Amino acid sequence: MDFKKKSKNARAIIVLTATFIAMLLNIKYKRDIIDSLIILIIVLIVFYIIATIAIKLIDKIRLMEPKTEIENDKKDKDKDENSDSREKTEDNQ
């Protein structure tokens, strides 16, 4: 399954959880309705941005190759180049 399909609902869950917590805190501290709505809108926007950035970072990190594979590929290429140059020098002699 593709990562985008797996993380499809992650952004919504993060935003709704943060909004729910903000709503409970607004009720606990008995804030006015206008102040509560402004806080909720700000929380929605901020956590939507945070969730979007987090999902993109996780996707990029997930697609990165491990460092050991890259180093092994370089070593293999160096060996191939050295063997090719040796064959060329042996052909010239």
- pLDDT by residue for the chain (93 residues), tens only, comes to 677 788 889 999 999 999 999 999 999 999 999 999 999 999 999 999 999 999 999 989 888 877 666 666 666 666 666 665 555 555 555
Return the sign of the alpha-carbon dihedral for residues 63, 16, 45, 23: negative
- In the chain the first and final C-alpha atoms are separated, in Å, by 56
pTM for this entry: 0.66
CA distances from 34 to 38, 40, 53 (A): 6, 10, 29
**What pLDDT, on a 0 to 100 scale, did the predictor assign at position 35?**
96
**What pLDDT, on a 0 to 100 scale, did the predictor assign at position 64?**
85
Q: Could you tell me if 9 and 45 are in contact, meaning their C-beta atoms sit under 8 angstroms apart? A: no
